[in-house]
Structure 1
């Protein structure tokens, strides 16, 4: 709330203001305001109580069920699962930003736990691994309140990472400068020196960690050991030995830890998060650490991922972090208020996130909004600043007078009044700063997304942590975490609606079928056999033909890329020969070592003042082709939606036909038809989810190929990394000098730079294995594999849904075992309680805050009529 004239109280009105605002309330994170949504009106406690009552009534009756009575045992088992609502997958939110941006403080503030996330207060990196904060896991020791699981990187990633660390250390300390090949060698810029030093320091930290000391590391290190591969082999053995200590504790989820207090837990796992003096730390080998505990936000179905700060010079670790970040649903980009609107890294990362997710799933958080010193406040002028400052001067005079007259009460009131005015002054500055930042970011990010610009939050985690340490704080000062709380609201409501409107009535139907033997008919079993035979044939053909159709669309979408490949090859050849090969040898070598990337301001070489990115240059050559691929594939998928929907319609009609043509009696036929009608919209809903996943996959691969979002983990790098490494390590043949003062020295028979250029031409421009062909092949291969995986997953869901109908049919058929007298008695008790079960079910429905349709109806999707694309997908199942 901004300061305004009606809030700037004169001193004579201030005592009344104090009286009106003296009441305080105890802090409670659950009382923070949320976005309006029916989910918040849902009486969850009452629903949970009734579900427990419903389950307990069933268990009280079926608890003594005979072990061989399959139906009663199934009822008892199912009743247990109905006692609480099964929640969908949690919504994942990533916190990203540079080191020192305030991610750790914000994490502590979000969860109200000071020390839960390690801060960089001592100047070092706070954490070096991905940390996931997730809900308390069911089934674990209730006596322990905090759990952690430490999971390590795969051996392949470890090996690549070690090679990169060794290469960084070698280049900084031992690499030859090729001065005999090149003249006029330019000194490295300060920025480049800083980048190389940081990469060397990170590598050195890693090696000292695993060798136990710097001395042990240096005893194993030598340029010859690095070149021969001996040193990296030793490192691999050291890693294996370090991890072997935890073999007895290792589970599929990682190494488990537990504690009663979050600070005790952090002490246990800190060596896996960052450097700890005097301890062996395994943070370089850690994939991610999951910390689990009870918290209202986590209980709502939110997971928070703290991603390490930008700037990791180890390419493999940076790409791994990007891969994890690509899996989240929303992204919070944090930056210090002072530089948020001027930092290119912040703007570029915001642009990248908007490109991949859309602006609605990206939020920018300006941290340390209240970091304002007295000098900054003194420089503020104009109203209301001048008005407040005038009152402060008057208050100073009042304070002086009260001290001279020794009026204690007056001096106390004046002191509180001055505190009020200073806070009002600071509050106005914060409001003005927020408006300025919002305007600057809106200008810089406008036009970057068709869905507008990301919302900007302003946070002061440090001030918040001070507030929650007090027993009581002003209610108006509680921060709003409503955005995070609102993320899973819709999903959570649907989970409850599905549980109440679908699962409970369905279970009551099972009870009814179990208690009434007269309703059973052998015709249901015959129908189930016929349906299973049809289902297996239908799903096998549907998956096969869909896969062929999707492969055909993929081929046609990439056909334009292959057709235009000759033009791309010419452009690539021009870039390589006219730009890359025109560089000086040391510059060329530096780019090879840096995977083709030189940042702005790092190099003094002519033409590289603004930086250079070989992969982006190559991606830009083919970007137009990949955008055409995207439009072609996107359009084809839109045509596929009605085709797939029509296939499911055909399956629906064929099933109805088989039911009607069966030899079963009329009652059986009508019951089966009515039940099958419930499955069609649910199949359509799964199709809608499938097509949404395809949309995301297409967008992701477009970003990967074009590098539109500036990602490290991109298509071109997957092809060129090995090329750059091979060229960088390539050397011409050597000879031994036989005379003179250099007798016995090994020298190259020709200059290295021309040799490396020739070798690069062979790897990049060779017509039989051209870079462009390799990129297209890799792109289509990776996309097709991901698409096949999606297809398999989707059709398995459809098959499982159809199998549910088959299971329902079989449940209607006569049982094939003798019912025990105890089983007869239990069935009679269940039948007597049917009205009570139905009553509880209706009461649960009445607790829903709004009138909602059944989940299978709300999830159904109507597709537009039009071209069904049947020329590429022909379904003909009798």
Structure 2
């Protein structure tokens, strides 16, 4: 904790004279985090890249458009003028409702009103707001653009079913309680939770109909039970989005001159607004785009829905958003952060999902201090501050109320000193609490194992925004905390530091790869002697590699991953009967719940709240999906470990396959029929270049291996419900089953005329009928639950693996196409060069040394280590000309590597008995 200076009154008077009145905080001059990216003179580099490209385009002025080479150079030069940036790093701000996420984002952008906050009663409750940079606003008037994307049909249908059921069972539960076999519940259901579910359902359904009266006119229990009301909801949704003026992709577009004007148009897509038809429950996410110097750095911020949503479909949707981002900022109110178990759980989930280095923890209200606590602490420095405050107030009380100039000056000084001391108390209490909370939260997250923990940032968005309100502040009315003490600049630096390496890599790639490629194109264009006819032959021969090798290679890779998947699941086959038996026992246990508890569990999609009497069940409530996941966990762990063992040596397998590709390329080049000089030039370009093509392919294959390993871990976490996530394997199966079980009922016996009586079902009665339906789902079908769950897990992994393989092999094809394009760029021209074309080539040739010098100067602006890494180390494939590689398929290579890596088994001991007593005695003695 930084010590806060406590000057005497005399020292304060001297110090005060040196302090100018603070001005409004200028966020545009805020320092970036100290990284190689922040030290890079980007403005100079951008300017010189544009000048570099402009020199070429000026030289190409009015070139003949049928001159393919010059046209190619002109397009390449245009691409140099602007650095191609990677997709923005997505940062999700996650926290419970009223945690301060929206206010935090407003302060992060230094724009009040860019996100709806709870202060107006219009806080966003279930809509993700994505904030993106709008680059076109940098040099002109800033416009704010908005997009609203609605949920997909399948998610909407599931959400409507859940909402209608919650509404029905709150208002019409008594209609289902008149069953003959409905024993009296020993405790009433938790009315507050039922009412919360009903309120959520009513809010959304009323929003869909436009008014409560219109909704109630359409609603009836019989329409709901027939399934027609859910279909009516879908029709209403289509009417609603027509009202919202959306395009064919269900996207509505808006624009405003400032954030307030845009938000005024979009607020009904984010929260409930009195008197307006609001569609926020049906929205997948909202995009707000505007120019921001922070978003321009490559950030996309997401104000995610507050966790704790009572609608499980919305909760799962929020989980999906978190799965897709790279960084999470977990937000909590300072006053609750130490004891908020939900905050700690979400922090652990984020650390497990993204790693501690990609998680930041934020407390949002550090400035909230109870005034009654200020004078209660008697330890230092509070005792000294309190003494000085008391002395100051006594001196103020002793002053006369005369308008004497000396008295006025002294009173003014004393009042400022009193204000300063009061701020000292508050600042010290804030710093002390922040230090204590940081340690306490760190201890809770650390547990017993030592590891990296995400930083905890203590912020005050309210105080930060105060610094932006007035042009100037007097000493008395300036905020108690400095801008830096609000924590907002620190949070910005943390996020910018995370995206800095990606930005640096984009610039390095552009200046050291893209720009030199343009110069190489110019060299090939102006040197007539390298337009050799042999290159077209070599290019044709090289394309054969793609036909003969790449397609079978990809097929082999897919076969290996498919075999790996099958073998991993095969390891579980012997365990399935035992696991299914445990599932059956668990289902029998559920069937012993009383009728009320059983039905509440089915209504809650497997979530049974705390209660007094759940038969033999624990009184603290239960989660049926979690109980099933716990049973499956040993099997899932076995599958994950087996899959990991099969992946252990995959990098080596890919290296051998790339060796094979390299050898085949060399063989094709040797047999291409070109002259020796031409063939050798092609070989040098293939594997002796600074950034050789085999090295590029190897790098991409190593990333593929890492992606597959990460995919498997995420699938395992998804399957075992790690961190209690709503989006999980068991829930994806049981969600519809629970609905079906709850709604299941045998036929009703005809009522006795003239007598009022409870519903009488045909045997076996409704409750037994439901229990039979449950047993049928979990164990009576052809594919029992455990088998079904493992098949679903395998299908998900296979599908995601296939998508990754397609993605990476597409990149490899691009790499090979780049090499083929290089070869074809050196072919003999198939058209006559005009005189104007020759003149331009002569000008380009004269310009070439200047371009090379200019590019060298631009490269010199980068840190030295970048230039050294760019090509100092020789290619690992430089000496692969003598590789002894056969024509084995990828699966065959994989099998060879796995056999070599398998530890040798100890020889089995002979089981033959030795009847010679002497021999037996010698064996015993030796043992």
TM-score normalised over the length of structure 1: 0.94
Q: How does 1:329-340 map to 2 (within 5 A)?
A: 329-340=326-337
Contact preservation (8 Å) 2:135, 2:296: no
Q: Which residue of 2 aligns with 1:282?
A: 279
Give the one of 783, 786, 790 matched to 1:769.
Answer: 783
Q: Which residue of 1 aligns with 2:265?
A: 268
What's the secondary structure of 1:378's corresponding residue? Answer: coil
**Structure 1 residue 327 and structure 2 residue 324: aligned?**
yes
Q: Which residue of 1 aligns with 2:124?
A: 126
Alignment CA distance shift 1:134-1:819 (3 Å) = same
**Structure 1 residue 659 and structure 2 residue 669: aligned?**
yes
| Greater alpha carbon shift after TM alignment, 489-498 vs 428-437 | 428-437
Give the CA deviation at 1:194: 2.2
Distance in 1 between the 2:229 and 2:484 partners? 60
Structure 1: 5+ residue runs without aligned partners? Answer: none
Q: Which residue of 2 aligns with 1:196?
A: 194
Give the CA deviation at 1:448: 7.8
Alignment CA distance shift 1:357-1:650 (3 Å) = same
Q: How does 1:538-549 map to 2 (within 5 A)?
A: 538-549=549-560
Q: Which residue of 2 aligns with 1:630?
A: 640
Q: How does 1:700-779 map to 2 (within 5 A)?
A: 700-742=714-756, 747-766=761-780, 768-779=782-793
**Structure 1 residue 388 and structure 2 residue 385: aligned?**
yes
Q: How does 1:568-587 map to 2 (within 5 A)?
A: 568-578=579-589, 580-587=590-597
Q: Which residue of 2 aligns with 1:54?
A: 52
Q: How does 1:431-446 map to 2 (within 5 A)?
A: 431-446=431-446
Give the one of 695, 711, 716 matched to 1:681.
Answer: 695
Distance in 2 between the 1:642 and 1:756 partners? 54
Distance in 2 between the 1:304 and 1:811 partners? 43
What's the secondary structure of 2:724's corresponding residue? Answer: coil
Distance in 2 between the 1:745 and 1:708 partners? 43
Give the CA deviation at 1:871: 5.5
| Greater alpha carbon shift after TM alignment, 159-168 vs 219-228 | 159-168
**Structure 1 residue 294 and structure 2 residue 294: aligned?**
no
Q: Which residue of 2 aligns with 1:554?
A: 565
Give the one of 578, 591, 601 matched to 1:567.
Answer: 578
Alignment CA distance shift 1:244-1:425 (3 Å) = same
Q: Which residue of 2 aligns with 1:85?
A: 83
Contact preservation (8 Å) 1:25, 1:475: no
Q: Which residue of 2 aligns with 1:178?
A: 177
Q: Which residue of 2 aligns with 1:75?
A: 73
Bigger radius of gyration, 1 or 2?
Answer: 2
Distance in 2 between the 1:11 and 1:796 partners? 73
Give the CA deviation at 1:484: 1.0
**Structure 1 residue 309 and structure 2 residue 306: aligned?**
yes
Distance in 2 between the 1:491 and 1:634 partners? 29
Give the CA deviation at 1:232: 1.8
Contact preservation (8 Å) 2:97, 2:125: no
Q: How does 1:298-697 map to 2 (within 5 A)?
A: 298-403=295-400, 407-447=407-447, 451-471=451-471, 479-480=489-490, 481-578=492-589, 580-599=590-609, 601=610, 605=614, 607-677=617-687, 678-697=692-711
What's the secondary structure of 1:291's corresponding residue? Answer: strand
Give the CA deviation at 1:245: 3.6
Give the one of 222, 234, 254 matched to 1:257.
Answer: 254
Give the CA deviation at 1:164: 1.5
Give the one of 798, 822, 826 matched to 1:812.
Answer: 826
Alignment CA distance shift 1:819-1:451 (3 Å) = farther
Distance in 2 between the 1:562 and 1:858 partners? 52
Give the CA deviation at 1:443: 2.1
What's the secondary structure of 2:619's corresponding residue? Answer: coil
Contact preservation (8 Å) 2:132, 2:299: yes
Distance in 2 between the 1:859 and 1:227 partners? 72
Distance in 1 between the 2:739 and 2:448 partners? 35
Structure 2: 5+ residue runs without aligned partners? Answer: 474-481, 878-889, 898-927
Distance in 1 between the 2:89 and 2:271 partners? 27
Give the CA deviation at 1:821: 2.6
| Greater alpha carbon shift after TM alignment, 193-202 vs 325-334 | 193-202
What's the secondary structure of 2:350's corresponding residue? Answer: helix
Give the one of 13, 34, 37 matched to 1:36.
Answer: 34
Distance in 2 between the 1:96 and 1:469 partners? 27
Give the CA deviation at 1:825: 2.1
| Greater alpha carbon shift after TM alignment, 777-786 vs 281-290 | 281-290
Give the CA deviation at 1:340: 1.0
Q: Per-residue CA shift, 1:141-178, capped at 9, x if unaligned?
A: 95552111111111121122112211111111113343
Give the CA deviation at 1:853: 4.0
Distance in 1 between the 2:326 and 2:872 partners? 23
Give the CA deviation at 1:760: 0.6
Q: Per-residue CA shift, 1:385-410, capped at 9, x if unaligned?
A: 11111111111112112345661111
What's the secondary structure of 1:68's corresponding residue? Answer: coil
Contact preservation (8 Å) 2:132, 2:295: yes
Give the CA deviation at 1:130: 0.5
Contact preservation (8 Å) 1:545, 1:873: no
Contact preservation (8 Å) 2:85, 2:503: yes
Give the CA deviation at 1:508: 0.5
Alignment CA distance shift 1:346-1:598 (3 Å) = farther
Give the CA deviation at 1:645: 1.7
What's the secondary structure of 2:148's corresponding residue? Answer: strand
Contact preservation (8 Å) 2:653, 2:894: no
| Greater alpha carbon shift after TM alignment, 413-422 vs 464-473 | 464-473
TM-score normalised over the length of structure 2: 0.89
Give the CA deviation at 1:665: 2.1
Alignment CA distance shift 1:163-1:767 (3 Å) = closer
**Structure 1 residue 824 and structure 2 residue 835: aligned?**
no
| Greater alpha carbon shift after TM alignment, 146-155 vs 628-637 | 628-637
Give the CA deviation at 1:472: 5.1
| Greater alpha carbon shift after TM alignment, 32-41 vs 45-54 | 32-41
Contact preservation (8 Å) 1:93, 1:302: yes
Give the CA deviation at 1:252: 5.2
Alignment CA distance shift 1:854-1:759 (3 Å) = farther
Give the CA deviation at 1:743: 8.0
Q: Which residue of 2 aligns with 1:239?
A: 237
Contact preservation (8 Å) 1:358, 1:451: no
| Greater alpha carbon shift after TM alignment, 235-244 vs 42-51 | 235-244
What's the secondary structure of 2:93's corresponding residue? Answer: strand
Distance in 1 between the 2:240 and 2:316 partners? 24
What's the secondary structure of 1:734's corresponding residue? Answer: coil
Contact preservation (8 Å) 1:688, 1:861: no
Contact preservation (8 Å) 2:748, 2:759: no
Distance in 1 between the 2:116 and 2:875 partners? 47
Give the CA deviation at 1:138: 5.3
Give the CA deviation at 1:460: 0.7
Give the CA deviation at 1:71: 1.6
Contact preservation (8 Å) 2:137, 2:291: no
Contact preservation (8 Å) 2:464, 2:483: no
